[in-house]
Structure formats: structure tokens, C-alpha cells
Structure 1
Amino acid sequence: MTMQFVDKLREKPAVQKLEKFFPAIAFLGGFAWDSITLGQMVYGTDILILLAYYTGALILVILLSAQLEHPEGWTKERLQALAKAQQKPAPVQKQTAAPAKPAEQPAKPEEPVVENSVIEEPVAEPEEEPQVKTEESRFRRAASFIAQKTPARAKEAANRAALEAKEATAKAAAIASAKAKEAAAKAAAKASAQAKDAAVKAKGAATKFAKNVGYESTAIPENAIVVRHRFLDREWSETWKQRFTWAVQFFFGGLFSALVVCYFKSSGSLASFLLVILLAILLVGNEFLQKKYESFGVSLAFFCLLGTMFMNFAIPHLVHRIGFIWFLISTVLSFGLCLFIWKISHRKKSILVAPALISIFLIVAYIMNWVPPVPLVLKQKLACQNFDKVSYSCDVDDPSLLQMVGLKIPSVHRVDSSEVYFLTSVYAPAKLKAELEYLWYYQDPKTGKYMLTDRISSGRMMINGGRESGFRTFTRKKNTPPGKYRVEIAYKNGAVIGSGTFEVFNEAPEDGFVRDTLR
């Protein structure tokens, strides 16, 4: 209901005009809030808020990784549930037409056996009368003719009977075959009808089941791919994609805004400041990348960058330590989460190229001291003389208007060859311990380049975090010839937290001294 109300509200012309200014308003408002809060002091609630941003981004990137791997595939679970949901029809017995019994062939008529009677020649008898002989001769001729013709006619009759029997057998076989084919066709048609009826019932059950579980595909294809069921095996609608990308843009923007402020406050060198500029550019660009976040590769790359920078800021608050080992752990954890997302998304390995390159770049940048030593922040700095350790007060030259507005570097006018002091206060979270060092640079008058002259560190420079105004330390230098100096305060053997530039004179100031105190 809430989303429907928001969608209807966004359709109004006045709201559509205001939406054009939402990114700028959100950017300026979030950045101003982070500058006021995080820029002064980091509290536990600030870490929790950033953790909520990061967790929200993690969930949304996982959701955006969803894709329908097998649009026509059915998982094992779906097939099992379908088998339970549908009523199993009785197995259709395959009806096969019984082979037709061969028609009984009519008994083959036995060929008539004609006995060849041997006509015995009469024994010569005494000659009878002529009339008797004539009748006897006629009888003999007739008997001889019958004896000659009878076998041929019998054979012809037998052949004719055999032919008629063969024709009768062929006709009977043809009739039996036609009846068998007709019976087989009827049985096949009946089996096909039963199979189609079972298929229709199965399809109906599958459709009903698919609607219940909310899947796109509702038909079981013949070549269905059985894959493991996964929540991310789906395709989001355009409406939900837009909602997800809008939320990702919001969470990424919150992280970018806070991290730009934190890293800017901790940056004390040009190299680290360039990294802050890169984050600021991405912060502004985030307001125009909502559509790009639909690409899982783009979202994962930004998530890896923000994850590493966030953990590098949050882990020191938990372990109360900073250093390369903790930055390495931050990078590994961030990339490990990206690896986990890739694993459950079943995407190609090429998706991990961008996160891997980002992780390698950040590790190299830390080794080269390009990454600011967050969460350490230089709160105050002061170049002076006649320092009092108890009150942390000293004499400074009365600043001119140009020096007050930052258009001219401060000056230190030495009197009676006094030592030059450089005082700083560095903020660190509660219980965090870090060893600091000071690096003194002198500008060569001939070349105009600053050269390192002293690197000073001691056990007294082990800061203990928790003081709102920062942990106060100082360094001093004797025999400072006139000229320009730059003093950097850094995490020992690490990146620079901040620096101060001033000019030393071997004469009294025209406007005198003022007493200043490091808070």
C-alpha cells in the first residue's frame, strides 16, 4: 500500500518537477550534516549509522545480482512439490493389439487316388463266334481309353483344388490382418487420449503450483533442466529494479558523504588529498548513476570500494589500533563479501575483475601513504616559542589580517636564539592508541624545494584517543636558521595526518607577541 501511494504521488506534475532537485538537495544536506557531526567527533552512533548504510547496500546488491539462469528449467524441489500437489493418475497400461489368430486353413482336399487297374489280358480261349469277338474288342478299347485319361483328369482336378485352397487362405489372412490393424488403431487412439488427458491434468496442476510459488515459467518443457533451487534464480520487474537502484543510490550516497568528510579531515598530504578528491567525484557522480546500478558489475565494484574504505574507518574503533595489518584485514573482508555475493549469484568470474583491481589499488595506495590515516584528525596546530608544558601555552607573533585569513603563512620571530616549538592536537576515537612522529622540512632558498632535515618520535607521542579536543603533543628544534619550514605530523612510518608551514626570522616582530594556548 505504501509503495502504491508513493507511485501515485510521483505521478503528480508538481512532484515530478521537485524530483529533479532531490539529488542535489540530498547531496548538500547529507554532506553538510556529515561535515557538522563527523567532522567534529566520531561517536558510536555514527559507526552504527554507517553500518546500517553498508548493510542496506549489501542486501540490495545481493538482490540486484538475481538473474533467471534457466527460464524453462524446473528445480528438484519444484518437481517434488509438483508431484505432491497433483493427483497421480493411475498408470496407463499399454494396450497392445493381440495378434490375430491365423485363419484356419481349409483342409486341403486329398488328391483323388485313382487306382490304375491293371486290365489283365484275357487268357486265350478258344475262338468264339465273330459277334462275340466284336463286343469283346469294343470293351477292351473303352477300358484302355479310360485307363489312359483317368490319371490326367485326376491331376488337373487336384491342381484346381489346390489353387482354390490357396486363394481362400489368402483372403482369410487379409481379412484377419485388417481386423488386427483396426483393433491396434483403436487401442492406440484410446491410449493417446488417456495420455493427453493425463498431460492436461499435469499441466493444470503445474500451473496451479507455479502460481502458488510465484515462478515465471509454468510449463514443464520436454527438455527441462533440473537445477538446484535458488532464491536469486528469478527476474525482477522493471518497477522493482527501479526501487532497488534508487535504494542503492541512497545507501551509497550516505556512505560516500560520510567517508569524504572523514578522509578529508584525516588527509595531510597532496597524495591523500587526491584520493579524497576521487571519493568526492564519485559522491557527485552517484547522484546520476541510478540506472547504471542495474548492472550487477557496477554495483559490486562500488560496493567493494565503499566496503574497504568503511571498514578501514570502522575497524580501528573496534580494535583500538590502526596500521597496515588492519587495513589489509579491511580489504580482505570487503573483497570476501564481494566473493560471497558472486558465489551465490552464479555469475561469470569476470564480474570479480573490477573488485579485485580496486582492492589491489587500495593496498598499493596505503603502502605509498596515499590513504589518509583515518580516523586520526589534526584538530589544531601552532608554531611558537617560549612554550609552557603545563598550560600548553606559548608566544606567537601577533597575526596580520592576511595571516588570519590564510593568505599568508604564520611567522616566528626568534628572540635571544630561543627554540622553535610546533604544537598539535590530534583527535582519535576513545581507547585508540597510535604512535606519532614529526617530520621537519626546510626550504632550500636556491631551489625552493623542501628537504627533510629531522624525523622526531618518542614514547611521549603515543596518543590515547577519547579527548574531544584531541591528544596534545609537541616538538621543538634548536638552531633554526631563518627561512621557511614545514612540519608534518604523521602516523609513525605511515601517512601524514596534517602539516603546518611557517617562516622563521632572527629579529623581534614589529607588532609584538601574543600568548596563545593549545586547547
Structure 2
Amino acid sequence: MFLSIREFVQQHEKWFSWGAFLTGFTWDNFTLDRIDQLLDNVILIGLLTVATIGIVLWNRLEEKKETGTRLTLIQPFVPLLFQFALGGLFSGLLVFYSRSGTIVSAWPFLLLLAALLIGNEFFRHRYQGVTFQLSIYYIALLSLCVLLLPVFLNQMGPGVFLLSSALSLGLIVAVVELLKRFAPTRVTRAYRSTIVAVVGICLAFQGLYFTNILPPIPLSLKFIGAFHDVENTGAGYRVTYEKPAWWEFWRESDTVIHWQEGEALHCFASVFAPTDLTTRIQHRWQYQTDAGWHDRGTIPYRIIGGRDGGYRGYTFAENVADGRWRCRVETDRGQLIGLRTFRVEVGEQPRELVSELR
């Protein structure tokens, strides 16, 4: 019975591979919610553990080429196990990284994760090589360390990112040493190229982080809007904006502000941070001229993590001019969390304002 299943899997390897990929992707989209939840952490670390077991078993079987043993019975299933784990892991990483930051600044890294997620199926034959296996595995490992360490340490910043990188290097060395015990010939043959690949990937991540292309994990923007006025009432924030037309059912803030003398522009934002994580963010106000966007002021404030809807805060800008404005929500080192662009029209114009509690 088992042999017939094994033969069936071998004959339909392509479809089982796609099934493993889609199952992993669907699993993460339905199960992952918040990065600071124990279950989400267990799922991601569990997938990494399964991928580690898969890579060790795969290379053990390729090294020994045994026949007639129990291990050979599971050989067709091991690549599927590895692909399921990596597919699930990359889809989970894509879920969390895409929630953090914006397409405007983080699209190169998000595109990389999406390519690895989709390419997980097309890499099936390339996975036979140890260097390729470990390179893809290390990208997942490093991305996971960068994602989870700020949650575990309740802080973020360059120091935590460098510590995440160091931890990932220590873990990949441990995996390579483990592989040496089970598949010494294969690992020795690929040792030098694997070192070059891992170091190159790690350095590339440093470049992505310090050029602010890497999303500001684990922060994510829940809401941002431009308003005529924002007031903290104690029970919430009362926001005031121009009443949407009947067909603008989606609009929750101003896209055009008809400004009058004595008023200020307000930017209200909710930023999610994991429980117990405290950090500083800033609102960067910018005004567009023919030469591009110019800063009109940067206002920092501290946020405290844990609220499901995100930590709420607002800033305002005065010295208003007619034209296009935007408010950028950033980390204290300039990583973009989100932004809102809107237009200001100066002058006495009829308008109807509405207020609601957020």
C-alpha cells in the first residue's frame, strides 16, 4: 500500500509540489494575525524547524543513496516537506512584511519575497544543489530573525537589526555543521560557494536596511488621514473633515481641504506595534513645488505597542499654502511606515464639516 502511494507521488511530483506550495500559502493567510501572538510565533518557528528537518533528510538521502531501507520509502515526500515548509514560511513573511511599510519604499524587498514564494515551485530541480538549498533557506532564516527579535526584545533599531543578523549567521553555521554530520561529502563539495552565498545575502540585507528599503518591521500602519481638526477627548480622538459626497462611501478623511484663515492641517495616524514595544516615530510634513517635495517640519512622538488598532497620535502643520501636501509617518531613522497625500485649496469656500470619534 505504502509503495503504491510512493509510486503515485513520484509520477505526479509536479502536482504534489504545487499542492504543497498552495497549502502552505493558504495556511498562513488564514492563521497568521499578529506578530506578537504566541500562536503566530509558534507557526513561523515551526515551519522553519520543518524546513530544517527537510533539508537534513534530503541531503542525508542524496548522500547515502540507500536502497531497501525505511528512509528510501519516504524519499519522494522529503522534497514536498521542504517545499511546504518554505512555501508556508515565505508566505507568512510576505504577510507580515507587506503589512509593514509601503509599496513606495519597500517594493524591492516585497518583490523578492513574492518571487521566492512563487519561485518555490519552479526551483524544484535547482533544490538538488546544497548551495541553492541553503541560500534560499538562509533568506527565510534571516528574514524571520529580523521579524521576531524586536518582538522578543521589545525594542527595535539598528542595534537589534545587527543582532538579528548575527543570530542568523550563528544559526546557519549550526545547520551547516549538522548537515556535515549527515552528508559530509555533499556539504564539503559546496562549502566554499555556500559561505560566499550566505555572506552575500547577509550583506545585501544590511544594504536594504540602512537604505530604508527593508520595511520597518514590526511596525505597521493601521490608519492615516488628513483632517481639519483632531481633538483628544479622553474617550477617543474626535476627527473633523469635510462631509463626503453620497458616492464617496469609502472616504474616511479629507482628500481636499478647503482651508480658511486661522486653521491648521492635521494628520492622524494609528500605528501598530507589538505588546510592550516602545519606540519613537515621526510625522514629516511636506509640500510639493515644481522642484519636488520639500520638508515643512518633522514632529516626533513616542508610541507604546499592544493596542490591536494601533497607537493613535496626531500632529498639525501651520503656515499653509495652496497646493499638494503629504504627511509621512516614519521611524526615527526615516523608514517609511505610511503616508497620506492631499490637496489644499485656500480661500472662503462653502463646506460642510462632520466629526466622529476614532
TM over 0.5: yes
User: What code does the residue aligned with 1:261 have?
Assistant: V
Tell me how far 1:267 sits from its aligned partner: 1.7
| Counterpart for residue 378 of structure 1 | 221
**2:193 corresponding residue in structure 1:** 350
1:221 equivalent in structure 2: none
What is the distance in 2 between the residues matched to 1:278 and 1:517?
Answer: 39
Query: Displacement of 1:465 after TM fit?
Result: 0.8
Asked whether the 8 Å contact 1:342–1:352 carries over to 2, the reply is no
Cα distance change, pair 470–494 in 1 and its aligned pair in 2 (3 A)? same
- CA displacement, residues 317-344 of structure 1 (integer Å, 9 cap, x when unaligned): 2110111111111112212222233334
Q: Which runs of structure 2 are paired with 1:227-266 in the superposition (5 Å)? A: 240-266=74-100
CA RMSD of aligned residues (A): 3.1
- AA aligned to 2:327 is V
User: Aligned with 1:413: secondary structure?
Assistant: strand
Question: Is the CA contact (8 Å cut-off) linking 1:267 and 1:273 kept in structure 2?
Answer: no
Aligned to 1:456, which of 299, 302, 326?
Answer: 299
Distance 1:364 1:416, change over 3 A: same
Alignment-derived partner of residue 309 in structure 2: 469
AA aligned opposite 1:45: L
In the TM superposition, residue 23 of structure 1 has moved relative to its aligned partner by 5.2
Q: CA deviation at 1:397?
A: 1.6
Partner of 1:22: 19
* TM-score, scaled relative to structure 1: 0.60
Task: Name the residue aligned to 1:418.
Answer: 263
* Partner residue of 1:297 out of 112, 123, 131: 131
Is the contact between residue 282 and residue 299 of structure 2 (CA under 8 Å) also seen in structure 1? yes
Counterpart Cα distance in 2 of 1:359 and 1:266: 21
Amino acid at match of 1:427: F
Secondary structure in 2 aligned to 1:321? coil
Q: What is the one-letter code of the residue matched to 1:295? A: G
User: C-alpha distance in 2, partners of 1:508/1:259?
Assistant: 49
Q: CA deviation at 1:42?
A: 4.5
Q: Does the 8 Å contact 1:436/1:489 carry over to 2?
A: yes
Contact 2:240 2:355 in 1 (8 A): yes
1:443 aligns with 2:283: no
Q: Unpaired runs of 5+ in structure 1?
A: 72-214, 218-235
After the TM superposition, which residues 49-68 of structure 1 pair with which residues of structure 2 at under 5 Å, given as runs?
49-66=43-60
Q: 1:340 to 1:25 in 2, by over 3 A?
A: closer
Cα distance in 1, alignment partners of residues 157 and 277 from structure 2: 12
Residue 386 of structure 1 deviates from its aligned partner by 2.6
Shift of 1:287: 2.3
**Displacement after TM superposition at 1:299 (Å):** 1.1
1:19 and 1:68 map into 2 onto residues whose CA distance is 20
Distance 1:420 1:58 in 2: 52
What is aligned with 2:39?
Answer: 45
Cα deviation 1:436-464 (Å, max 9, x = unaligned): 111111110x34x212222211xxx2111
Q: d(CA) in 1 for partners of 2:149 and 2:172?
A: 18
Shift of 1:241: 4.5
| 1:432 aligned partner | 277
Tell me which residue corresponds to 2:161.
327
Matches within 5 A, 1:173-188: none
- 1:45 deviates by 0.8
Q: Which amino acid aligns with 1:470?
A: G
Matching of residues 389-400 of structure 1 within 5 Å: 389-390=232-233, 391-400=236-245
Following superposition, the deviation at residue 372 of structure 1 comes to 0.7
Question: For 1:510 and 1:436, how far apart are their aligned partners in 2?
Answer: 36
What per-residue deviation string (whole Å, max 9, x for no partner) do you get for residues 2-33 of structure 1? x547426648x9x8897486257426623542
For 1:311 and 1:490, the matched residues in 2 are separated by: 22
CA 1:453 to 1:329, structure 2 compared with 1: closer, same or farther past 3 Å?
same
CA distance in 1, matches of 2:111, 2:276: 30
Give the CA deviation at 1:504. 1.3
TM-score (normalised: structure 2): 0.85
Letter of the 2:307 partner, please give it. Answer: R
Larger Rg: 1
Would you tell me which structure has more strand in proportion to its own residues? 2
**Alignment partner of 2:228: what SS?**
strand
Question: Which structure 2 residues correspond to residues 358-373 of structure 1 after superposition, within 5 A?
Answer: 358-373=201-216
Residue 282 (structure 1) shift: 1.1
Counterpart amino acid of 2:175?
A: I
| Distance in structure 1 (CA, Å) of the matches to 2:307 and 2:132 | 40
- The 3-state SS of whatever aligns with 2:86 is helix
1:9-158 aligned within 5 A: 10=9, 19=16, 22=19, 25-26=22-23, 29-30=26-27, 32-33=29-30, 37-38=32-33, 42-66=36-60
